[in-house]
Amino acid sequence: MNFNEVKELISILDDSKLAYFELENEDGYIKIDKSMSRDYVPNKIQNEVSAIENKEEKQHNNTISSKINIKENMLSIILIGGIVVISIILLFALYIIISSPDFDKEKLYSKESSVLYYNDGKTELARLGQYDRALVNYEELPQVLIDAIVATEDSRFFQHSGLDVARFAKASVGQLIGNDKAGGASTLTMQVVKRAYTSGESHGIKGIVRKFTDIYMAVFKVESNYTKEEIIEFYVNSQWFGSTGSLNNSGFAGVEQACQNFFGKSVSDISLAEASILAGMFQNPGLYNPYTKPNNTRKRQKIVLTLMVNHGYITEEEKNAVLDIPIESLLVKKDNVANGDSRAAIDYIINEVANDTGYDLRETPMKIVTTIDKDVQDVLNKLEKGEIYEFPNEYMQEGIAITDMETGGLSAISGGRNYSARGTNRATTKRQPGSTAKILFDYGPYIEYLNGSPATLFLDEETTYSNGTPIKNADGKYNGLMTMRDALAASRNIPALRAFQAVYKENPDYIKNFVKNLGIDYGGELYESAAIGGFDGVSPVQMSAAYAAYGRGGYYIKPYSYTEATLLENGKVYNKTLEK
């Protein structure tokens, strides 16, 4: 009750017949009668009322203050929570940036294979490198393949900047609710990053870190430095498509070699049917291999074609026309790869090119024109397999080198039966040559320095080395006087030793110089045992080159296995310089 209300009550009391009235407060009742002063009563009551009002106002203010404090606390909690979340996001982003791999641009550029050609310069002997790969540029890709890849792998590739936000958000929600088919929403650019810089990790915290690393590098590294066309090139050239079954590489990669292996044609010539198969294989080359999994290939091809229809690249009629074509009719006959064929020759070429140029053919793409003759090499390959000669047991070995008498180049090499890559090459392994040394250490020098001839006579009778050690023929018999021709044809030891001794007696350096000029290293000292091949040893490659000198009038050419080596990166050519 306020002051004015009290005054009104007193006025009412004066005009009424009442003697008094009581007002209730916290301490009890206040009695007011007509005898009280009109100033006293209101002031007393006003004091009581004011106390009550002050108390109520204080309680009201306290209530308001409590409500304000709750709101402020809630706002503080929300603000702190927001700061924490933002801080975590910023720290995670910083971690992704700091921990991301170095942006080595060279890793984006897939390497081609080194190609070895037979001596005709056209027929391929082998492809070397990590993969059998031939690079193509964007202009060589048919539009139908580009459309198939974009429709299947990244429909908004030409619109986004490395991350398809809508697709990524959709996939993320799908994964959170447990949809296994939600996918990872990787764009083509992100897939290029994964192949070149990160890994295939897809689970747990490592998978999350890898995914955001892909996003960061795709958006801020690849897309900011390369055009969409260049990114397509990185994508199609880096994909592995299958095994070649060869020891020379780990399979074929890139769309060009994929088309050659599957369809027998260049990628620029493929049709919609072939492009839809190829585009489908990017997801899983093994699962959709048209040779081994034709049913899977058809299912995947149908998905690719449906997506191309949905995105407006082809019509429903074109899709159905392709699905009427049998998968098998599109494929070329797959030849069985002769695993390891010509391997010793290939290893020899690799070593020689490395020694001459400093480049390893397995790591640096080069084009090599070799001296290997395909027909001759095929004979040695069959020999190794026992196709043209039946070896008496599995332990008997051989090592063969065949030299072109005119050019001096190696026409064929066999490293032995069951030769393994980078293994013991018996064509280059030194062994005592036995009687094959007679023409080099005995009769050759005799003709050269003592004017001998095939008709020169030698006495085949019991004799010894100069130190008294006996020497015998293989049959233990003696044939008396024999011409050089007959003694060589019969491989008699005693006539050979007599020729050696005669030349050595005339001048010890004659034989030494003769054989060294033919590329033969007999060791530190020349002993008479060398007359019948008893020295440190010589390899089939060395012997073949030495014998070839006889066929070209005495001119020796150091054996070599290639004539031209070209760096594919810049076209620099290394021509083989012959040593005569």
Question: What positions carry a catalytic annotation?
Answer: 153, 435
SS3 102: coil
Euclidean distance between the first and the last CA atom of the chain, given in angstroms as a whole number: 132
* 369 beta partners: 117, 564
CA–CA gap between residue 381 and residue 355 (Å, rounded): 26
* Maximum distance among all Cα pairs of the chain, rounded to whole angstroms: 183
CA–CA gap between residue 257 and residue 133 (Å, rounded): 6
Residues with Cβ < 8 Å from 364, sequence gap 6 or more? 114, 567, 569
- Dihedral angle over CA of 207, 210, 216, 219, nearest 10: -90
Strands 400-403 and 457-460 turn out to be: unpaired
Q: Please count the other Cβ atoms lying within 10 Å of the Cβ belonging to residue 541.
A: 24
Residues with Cβ < 8 Å from 308, sequence gap 6 or more? 147, 148, 151, 152, 276, 314, 319
CA–CA gap between residue 251 and residue 288 (Å, rounded): 16
- The 10 Å CB-count burial string (b at 16+, else e) for 79-108 is eeeeeeeeeeeeeeeeebeeebeeeeeeeb
CA–CA gap between residue 234 and residue 54 (Å, rounded): 82
Strands 252-253 and 132-133 turn out to be: parallel
Burial-class residue 406 by CB neighbours within 10 Å (0-12, 13-18, 19+).
Answer: exposed
Tokens of 293: 């999994």
For residue 132, which of 115, 110, 113 has the smallest C-alpha distance?
Answer: 113
Distances (CA, A) of 519 to 414, 447, 515: 20, 19, 7
CA–CA gap between residue 555 and residue 25 (Å, rounded): 140
Residues with Cβ < 8 Å from 90, sequence gap 6 or more? none
Residues with Cβ < 8 Å from 389, sequence gap 6 or more? 383
CA–CA gap between residue 501 and residue 466 (Å, rounded): 8
DSSP 497-518: HHHHHHHHHH-HHHHHHHHHTT
